[in-house]
Amino acid sequence: MTESINRNKRQLTWALYILAAVALLLFMGDQLAGKKAARIVQTLISGVLVGGVYGLVALGIVVINKASGVFNFAHGWMMVVGGMIFWSFFTVSEISVAGASLLAAATMLMMLTTASYRNLLERRNLLIAAGGTVGLTALMTVGGIEWRWLHALTGTVAGAILTGLAVERFTIRPLIGQPLFTAVLMTLAVAEVLHGVTQIAWGTVELDLPIFVDPQTNSRFKPIRLDAFREALDGLAIIRVELVIAFVLALLAFVGFILFFRYTSVGLAMRATSEDQQLAQSVGLRVRVILAITWAAAAFLASIAGVLQGGAVGLSLNISFVALRVFPAVLLGGLESVTGALVGGIIIGIVEQFGTLINSSQQVGANLAPYVVLMLVLVIRPEGLFGEKRIERI
Amino acid sequence: MKKLGILLALALVIGGALPGLAQDMMDYPSDLTACEVDLTGETINIFHFGDLSGPYAFITQPIVSAVTDAVSYWNSRGGVCGAELAQIYEDTGGSREAAQSAYDRFTSTYSDELDLLLLYSSDDGELLREQLAEDEIVSYISAGSIESLYGEDGQTPGWLYASNPLYINQFGSFCQFVAASPEVFPDPVIGFVTWPNAFGRAGTEPAAREYCGGLGVEVLADPQFFLPTDTDILTQVQNAIDAGANIIYTNSLATGPALIAGTLVDLGLEEEIKLAGVNWVMDTTVGLIGQRVLKPNGLPSVDGMFGSMPFLWWTELSNPAVQFVYQQFTLNERGPAEQNIAYLLSWGVVDAIIETTLRTVNRMGSLNAVTGADIRDTVAAMDYEVLGGLYHQYFEESMRDGVLNRIAVLKFANTTMTGPAAGPEDALLIDNPAGGKLFVPIVVPLTDFMEVPQLRG
* Mean pLDDT across B3-13: 40
Give the pLDDT of residue B19. 39
Does any domain span residue A106?
A: no
Does A248 fall in a domain? yes
Q: Does A88 touch chain B (CB under 8 A)?
A: no
The pLDDT score that the predictor gives to residue B140 is: 96
Instruction: Assess contact for A383 and A330: CB atoms under 8 A.
Output: no
Q: Which of A64, A132, A144, A126 is nearest to A103 (CA)?
A: A132
Residue A138 in any domain: the answer is no
**pLDDT at site A292:** 93
In chain B, residues 58-87 whose CB comes closer than 8 Å to chain A? 58, 61-62
Q: Residue B254 and residue A361: Cβ atoms within 8 Å?
A: no
Percent of chain A with pLDDT over 90: 38
Q: Which residues of B touch A49 (CB under 8 A)?
A: 232
> What's the gap in Å between the CA of A300 and the closest CA on chain B?
21
Residue from B231, B288, B294, B429 to probe the interface with A (highest A Cβ count within 10 Å): B231
pLDDT bucket at B363, cuts 50 / 70 / 90: very high
Instruction: Tell me whether residues B435 and A145 touch, CB distance under 8 A.
Output: yes
CB atoms B229 and A353 under 8 Å: no
Residue B1 pLDDT more than 50? no
Tell the burial category of B183 from Cβ atoms under 10 Å away from its Cβ (0-12, 13-18, 19+): exposed
- pLDDT by residue (tens digit) across B410-436? 999 999 888 899 998 999 988 776 667
Alpha-carbon gap, residue A100 to A173, rounded angstroms: 27
In a domain, A387, yes or no: no
- Cβ of residue A278 closer than 8 Å to a chain B Cβ: no
Residue A196: which residues within 8 A CB-CB, separation 6 or more? none
Residues of B in contact with A94 (CB under 8 A): 1
Query: Is pLDDT at B2 greater than 70 in this prediction?
Result: no
Do A208 and B53 lie within an 8 Å CB cutoff? no
- Kindly state whether residue A258 falls inside one of the protein's structural domains: yes
Q: Taking CA atoms, what residue in B is nearest to A96?
A: B1
pLDDT one-digit tens code per residue, B442-452: 999 999 999 99
The mean per-residue pLDDT over the stretch B337-356 comes to 92
Q: How far is A307 from chain B (nearest CA, A)?
A: 13
The answer to whether B236 contacts chain A (CB < 8 Å) is: yes
Confidence bin at A120 (pLDDT 50/70/90): confident
Q: B140 in contact with A at a CB cutoff of 8 Å? A: no
User: What are the φ and ψ backbone dihedral angles of B51, each rounded to 5 degrees?
Assistant: -80, 105
Does the CB of B36 have a partner CB in chain A at under 8 Å?
Answer: no
pLDDT computed for residue A116 by the predictor:
87
- Chain A residue at shortest CA distance from B240: A360
Note the pLDDT tens digit of each residue in B68-85: 999 999 999 999 999 999
pLDDT band at A394 (very low <50, low <70, confident <90, very high): low
The C-alpha atoms of residue A48 and residue A42 are separated, in whole angstroms, by 10
Global ipTM? 0.80
Q: Is A141 on the interface with B (CB under 8 A)?
A: no
**Could you give all domains of chain B from N- to C-terminal order, each with its CATH number?**
2-165+317-404 (3.40.50.2300), 167-314+406-451 (3.40.50.2300)
**B378 in contact with chain A, both atoms CB, cutoff 8 A:** no
CB contact under 8 A, A316 and B292: no
Mean pLDDT of A366-388: 80
Specify the amino acid at residue B59. Answer: I
What confidence tens digit (pLDDT) does each residue in B195-244 have?
Answer: 988 788 888 889 999 999 999 999 999 999 998 888 889 999 999 999 99
Give the percent of chain A with pLDDT over 70: 97
Contacts 24+ apart (CB under 8 A), B326-330: B326/B14, B326/B18, B326/B21, B327/B21, B327/B22, B327/B25, B327/B26, B328/B69, B328/B70, B328/B73, B329/B69, B330/B11, B330/B15, B330/B22
pLDDT above 60 (res B275)? yes
Mean pLDDT of A8-35: 76
B16 pLDDT exceeds 70?
no
- ∠ Cα B339 B344 B345 (to 5°): 140
Residue A87's domain comprises 37-93+144-380
**Residue A345's closest CA among A368, A316, A322?**
A322
From the list B258, B262, B434, which residue is nearest A210 (CB)?
A: B434
Q: Is B291 on the interface with A (CB under 8 A)?
A: yes
Return the higher-pLDDT residue of A357 and A27: A357
B219 near A CB under 8 A: no
pLDDT tens-place string over residues A304-316: 999 999 888 888 8
Secondary structure (H, E, C), chain B: CHHHHHHHHHHHHHHCCCCCCCCCCCCCCCCCCCCCCCCCCCEEEEEEEECCCCCCHHHHHHHHHHHHHHHHHHHCCCCECCEEEEEEEEECCCCHHHHHHHHHHHHHHCCCCCCEEEECCHHHHHHHHHHHHHHCCEEEECCCCHHHHHCCCCCCCCCEEECCCCHHHHHHHHHHHHHCCCCCCCCCEEEEEECCCHHHHCCCCHHHHHHHHHCCCEECCCCEECCCCCCCCHHHHHHHHHCCCCEEEECCCCHHHHHHHHHHHHCCCCCCCEEEECHHHHCHHHHHHHHHCECCCCCECCCCEEEECCCCCCCCCCCHHHHHHHHHHHHCCCCHHHCCHHHHHHHHHHHHHHHHHHHHHHHHCCCCCCCHHHHHHHHHHCEEEECCCCEEEECCCCCCECCEECEEEEEEEECCCCCECCCHHHECEEECCCCCEEECEEEEECCCCEECCCCCC
Residue A391 has pLDDT above 70, yes or no: no
A317: which chain B residues are within 8 Å (Cβ-Cβ)? 53-54, 57
User: Residue B20 pLDDT > 60, yes or no?
Assistant: no
Flag if A50 and B437 touch (Cβ within 8 Å): no
pLDDT at B13: 47
Nearest to B134 by CA among B164, B163, B104: B104
Measured between beta carbons, the chain B residues lying within 8 angstroms of A355 are none
Whole-angstrom Cα distance, residue A18 to residue B354?
Answer: 65
Please give the backbone phi and psi of residue B413, each rounded to the nearest 5 degrees, phi first.
-65, 150
Backbone phi, psi, residue B210, to 5°: -65, -45
Name the residue facing B229 among A92, A243, A322 (closest C-beta).
A322
| CB < 8 Å to B236, chain A | 356, 360
Highest mean pLDDT of the ranges B8-17, B191-200, B352-361, B390-399 = B352-361
- CA–CA min distance A155, chain B (Å): 17
Give residues with Cβ within 8 angstroms of B135, minimum separation 6.
B107, B372
Q: Does residue A369 lie in a domain region?
A: yes
A101 is a domain residue: no
Please check whether residue A373 lies inside any domain of the structure: yes
Q: How many domains does chain A have?
A: 1
Give the mean pLDDT of chain B. 89
Span A194-253, pLDDT tens digits: 998 998 888 777 788 888 887 777 788 889 989 888 888 888 899 999 899 989 988 998
Q: Which residues of B touch A314 (CB under 8 A)?
A: 254-255, 258, 289
Instruction: Return the biggest CA–CA distance within chain A.
Output: 80
Name the residue in chain B with its Cα closest to that of A35.
B242
Would you call B1 and A50 a contact, using CB atoms and an 8 Å cutoff? no
Q: Is A224 helix (H, G, I), strand (E, B) or coil?
A: strand
B437 → closest Cβ in A208, A218, A313 = A218
Residues on chain A touching B232 (C-beta within 8 angstroms): 46, 49-50, 240, 243, 353
Of residues A50, A148, A195, nearest to B231 (C-beta): A50
Count chain A–chain B contacts defined by CB atoms under 8 A.
Answer: 144
Query: Which residue among A43, A205, A225 places its CB closest to the CB of B235?
Result: A43
Instruction: Report pLDDT digits (tens) over B103-130.
Output: 999 999 999 899 999 999 888 999 999 9
- The shares of helix, strand and coil residues in chain A, as percent rounded to the nearest 5, are 75, 5, 20
Write down the mean pLDDT value for chain A: 87
Write the residue in A218, A238, A316 that is nearest to B266 by C-beta. Answer: A238
Residues of B in contact with A36 (CB under 8 A): 242
Residue numbers in B near A147 (CB within 8 A): none
Chain-chain contact of B54 with A317 (C-beta, under 8 angstroms):
yes
Q: Say how far apart CA B108 and CA B88 lie, in whole Å.
A: 14
Q: Which residues of A touch B293 (CB under 8 A)?
A: 219-220
Sign of CA dihedral A309, A310, A313, A317: positive
User: Is B224 touching A (CB cutoff 8 A)?
Assistant: yes
Indicate yes or no: CB of A213 within 8 angstroms of CB of B232.
no
All residues of chain B having their beta carbon less than 8 Å from the beta carbon of residue A95 are none
- For residue B45, the distance in angstroms to the closest alpha carbon of chain A comes to 25
Residue B73, pLDDT score: 96
Residue from the list B238, B259, B293 with its beta carbon closest to the beta carbon of A39: B238
Residue of B nearest to A241 (CA): B266
| Chain A touched by B419 (CB under 8 Å) | no
Are residues B232 and A46, on separate chains, in Cβ contact within 8 Å?
yes
Give residue A387's pLDDT: 78
Q: How far apart are the first and last CA of chain A?
A: 34
Residues 331-360 of A with CB under 8 A from B: 353, 356-357, 360
* DSSP for A309-324, written as a single string: HHHHH-B-GGGGHHHH
pLDDT of residue A190: 95
Question: Sign of dihedral through CA atoms A59, A64, A69, A72?
Answer: negative
Q: Which of B92, B227, B235 to mutate to test the interface with A (most CBs of A within 10 A)?
A: B235
% pLDDT > 70, chain B:
94
